[in-house]
Structure 1
Amino acid sequence: MPWLDSDDFLQMIQRWIEESATGWQGDLPVLDLDRYFSPGPAEPLIIYDNLDKLNNKFVQLRREKTLTRVIGVGAIPRRAAKKLKSTRAFAYVTSIGQPEVPPRNWEDIKALLPTSDARAIDVGIREQRLSYLILKYERGGLEAVLTLRAWATKSGAITLAKVESASHSREALSLRAGPRTTELSNSRLVVIGAGAIGSFLCDQLARSGVGEITIYDPDEVRPGNLVRHLTSAEMVGKAKPHAVREVITSRPFNISTIIVKNEPAPTPREVLRLFVNADLVIDASAAGGTTALLAKAAEASGHHLLTVCLQEDGQVVRVDVVPPLEGPALPPTQLGPLSDRRDLKFEAGCGDPVSMTPPFAVLEAASLAARCAIGMLLNEPVCKAGIVRDYR
């Protein structure tokens, strides 16, 4: 923490300046060329997909409410941009390779470009037909993008200002899914129950890159479910598995195939097939009979079942591996006395009492089950028999 000492802090600043001037000798390959340009007037975030097919081309941008989107190749207009629709803008995409020192202005960048590109950009900016430069570059073998707003001043000089930009390509977005996404992409899972825990569990498994998820649940989304469920108000009345699939597959970076079964868990005759055709079956049904049936099927078929549930109104979070991968099974939870009937809450049209489990307990249970499931899929289990968190 060199900033705790003024002399150390000034020495670090001096080193940064020297390394920038000499081509970042000994510096980490941080993709930070935007730091060498001052910010201009507030601009919406610019987002783009893969730019490889757009290299050395004029592209059209569409301005939306909170962002500006690169929509593809577009011929630069023949008249000034100020006469165009306010929702459109144009940029030029090109590469400046791996600069030896960081560029700081248009003259620096122009020296890194082919003469024809530099001339086309220069004319487009001066005639107010081109508003942005999207520059691809490399540092230390890593690829990056620098986006700049460009305009000509009254004196004839071209001024550049940095603009925040980001990729929404599948490759860029998948970086945040975890280091084992490729391995998980070939996995097939079955999740029984798309209620509160099941919906968030399916969501986390899909975000992590699991290739195929089959969801069983016979119920539909009710307004009261929304407090603890993945889905939104627009999905009330839809079958829960269909609603969960709609949320997951709406993401641009989703790679999971979601198969929905708007029906209860398979019958005893069909249940063995689940374990044969899937890499892992997860029970999130919170139904004792279903859990018992799945447990018997797992034991009979030589497979393992992962069960997840909340007990004691969410004070106990429990994940069990049935049968255990190693050692004895976890002991049953010592439950407290049943609630007084006068304390039970009911919702009209629902025969069972409403669970008073808080939403944060649901998210914890789903996350814990996802961690255990992914560990089992990768043959790196984080638990042998299960995990219990008792907050009583």
Structure 2
Amino acid sequence: MSNDYWDEFVAYSQLHFEEGLIRAGFTTTPVGWSGSVGHGQGVTRVVITLPARFPFRPPRVVPEDREAVAWSWHRERDGALCLVAEDDHDDLWWTDSAAFLKHISAWFEEADAGWPSDRPDLDLERYFEPSRDHRIYLYDEIEGFKNAFVRFKPAKNDTMIMMRGTRVPKAHKSHKDRYGYVVELADVATPPRNWDDLETRLPEELSIGRKIRDRSISILMVTYHRGDSLGVLALDVSVDAERSITARVLTSASTSADTRNLRAGLLAPSLGDRKIAIVGAGAIGSFVADALVRSGVRNLTLIDPDTILPGNLVRHLVGPSCVGLTKVEAVRRHLLERNEDRNLTLDAVVQRLDTGADAYDLIDSHDLVINASADFSTTALLRVAAESRGEHVLSVALVDHGATFRIDVLPPLSDVDATPVLDTPDLQEDVAELFEPGCGSPISPAPPHAVMEAASAAVRHAIGILSGRPLDDAGETRNVAPQGKAHES
């Protein structure tokens, strides 16, 4: 997109929008476009302004009489209407002024009805001015600290960690800890917008104002509920010379396992007690292990006899500090370091899977065995062992010089053809084998993104099997990385 095209697009969008406002009876004023919006309960006059990033940000709308419109969770701190949620930016629909005015009218009708279908967003922090303290205040299971003094200690990366504690009398000036109090806010029908508004809703018997004025605390952690969801507001509270209290919002975040599991998928809770073995902790196996742990798995057995070499790092999960470690130990250390508070059980087995007895033990002691060894004999060994036990293993590998991943359920979950027809890409003719100095076997040219896609697909199939919702009875094959010369479209 050239600069001329960009400028023309922006100018046309603004002109088109403003012409629509004129047709709707709006007039320009020094503060914006002023006009009336009709709704079920009457007419409300508003001022519409276009932000600097219009049309890529929606217009701003403020009632001319800000106090005549009821305050709610659907207004900004300055009185503007909350019209477009962050997850409603699929297109630039608001550039159509008629559609935008209709949306404003619908906002007023919802407000008149008391927001019957309100979504309980936990965004109380946007109603307070931000603090100059830009550190992140971290807390764990905060409801266990309700109505208690807490202490925040500085940690790495400009974070502050919450723990129990009260202010040290006559603390030295160099003392870096900060002290606070955790209190529950009962009334959240409308959001408080300043300290005075907030204080009237806090329990009088806790004397929060006195605690702030005598400098026992400089942090106030406010918990509240909207629907079944818990919200937390961290405030930096201070007292001026006239003994007036100012409250400014701090950036805060939970470190609890429940919070992390919210992003791990709906099936994460059911995966915590499942035990999975991964045979092969190389490129694919390492990312399979990482994705499984991120998805909620807590018990893993890693099996591989090999060692991390510098060349492995291009496609492997771990970094340079792991060169020289066995692959299973390198992956184990990485997962434990990254998930130090998640109660992982990771067994690292430095050996090759060679015997039927070992295969039987592995299958019998795990809910699922994933074969990422890319070794035909290991795959065959596990398939025969699984068939004889009446169980199933999952096998994943890259083939066609990394252009295709293949995932097999062995044996298939039903009587189906486990060797589907695969349309392979036109590879460059005579792909030369690649050798790494000091390594006798050819090196696969599979690119890192193919490794990650194969691992991701394997984890989807694994979770499907573990949850009783298999994606396919036999598995999956997919072309992911055409190699060699580029193809003409």
Q: Which structure 2 residues correspond to residues 191-340 of structure 1 after superposition, within 5 A? A: 191-250=278-337, 251-252=339-340, 254-326=342-414, 327-331=416-420
Match runs of 1:41-60 below 5 Å:
41-60=132-151
Q: Deviations over 1:230-258 (max 9, x none)?
A: 11222111111111111222214534421
The 1-side partners of 2:452 and 2:110 are apart by: 44
Asked if residue 94 in structure 1 is aligned to residue 183 in structure 2, the reply is yes
Matched, 1:347 2:436: yes
- Stretches of structure 2 that go unaligned for 5 or more consecutive residues are 1-87, 483-489
Q: Which residue of structure 1 lines up, in the alignment, with residue 120 of structure 2?
A: 29
1:334–1:181 Cα change, 3 Å: closer
Establish whether residue 186 from structure 1 lines up as the match of residue 186 from structure 2: no
Measured in 1, the distance between the counterparts of 2:175 and 2:454 equals: 48
- Residue 206 of structure 1 and its aligned partner are, at CA, apart by 1.6
| Partner SS state of residue 439, structure 2 | coil
Structure 1: which amino acid aligns with 2:155? Answer: E
Question: Structure 1 residue 138 and structure 2 residue 225: aligned?
Answer: yes
Q: Which residue of 1 aligns with 2:102?
A: 8
Matched residue SS, 1:198? helix
Does the C-alpha gap of structure 1 residues 41 and 15 become closer, same or farther in structure 2, counting only changes over 3 Å? farther
Q: Is the 8 A contact 1:98 1:139 kept in 2?
A: no
How far, CA to CA, are the matches of 2:390 and 2:380 in structure 1?
16
TM-score, normalisation: structure 2: 0.72
1:272 to 1:146, Cα distance in 2 relative to 1, 3 A: same
2:135/2:160 contact within 8 Å kept: no
Distance 2:219 2:401 in 1: 55
Q: Deviation of residue 301 (structure 1)?
A: 2.4
Whole-Å Cα distance in 2 between the matches of residues 337 and 96 of structure 1? 64
Alpha-carbon distance, 1:123 to partner: 3.6
Is the Cα–Cα contact under 8 Å of residues 136 and 253 in structure 2 kept in the other structure? yes
> For structure 1, which runs of at least 5 residues remain unmatched after alignment?
none
Rg larger in structure: 2
CA contact (8 A) 2:137 2:162 kept: no
- Aligned-residue offset at 1:56: 1.4
Name the stretch that deviates more: 4-13 or 138-147: 4-13
Are 1:192 and 1:282, in contact at CA under 8 Å, matched by a contact in 2?
Answer: yes
Aligned length: 384
What is the TM-score when the length of structure 1 is the normalising length? Answer: 0.89
Map of 2:197 onto structure 1 = 108
Measure, in 1, the Cα distance between the counterparts of 2:195 and 2:168: 22
The correspondence for 1:376, drawn from 431, 452, 465, is 465
C-alpha spacing 1:27/1:331, structure 2 compared with 1 (3 Å):
closer
Q: Cα RMSD over matched residues?
A: 2.7
Please state whether the residue corresponding to 1:176 is helix, strand or coil. coil
**Partners of 2:390 and 2:116 in 1: CA distance:** 58
Q: Using the TM superposition, give the Cα deviation of residue 160 of structure 1 relative to its aligned residue in structure 2, in angstroms.
A: 1.1
Q: Percent identity?
A: 37
Note if contact 1:170-1:252 (Cα within 8 Å) is conserved in structure 2. no
Deviation, structure 1 residue 147: 0.8
Query: CA, structure 1 residues 15+103, in 2 after alignment: closer, same or farther (shift >3 Å)?
Result: farther
> Using a 3 Å threshold, how does the CA distance of structure 1 residues 15 and 63 change in structure 2: closer, same or farther?
farther
Equivalent residue for 1:61, pick from 152, 155, 175:
152
- Following superposition, the deviation at residue 376 of structure 1 comes to 0.8
**Structure 2 residue identity aligned to 1:72:** M
Counterparts of 2:101 and 2:343 in 1: how far apart (Å)? 51
Q: 1:259-296 CA distances to partner (integer Å, 9 max, x unpaired)?
A: 11111114123322222222222110011221122122
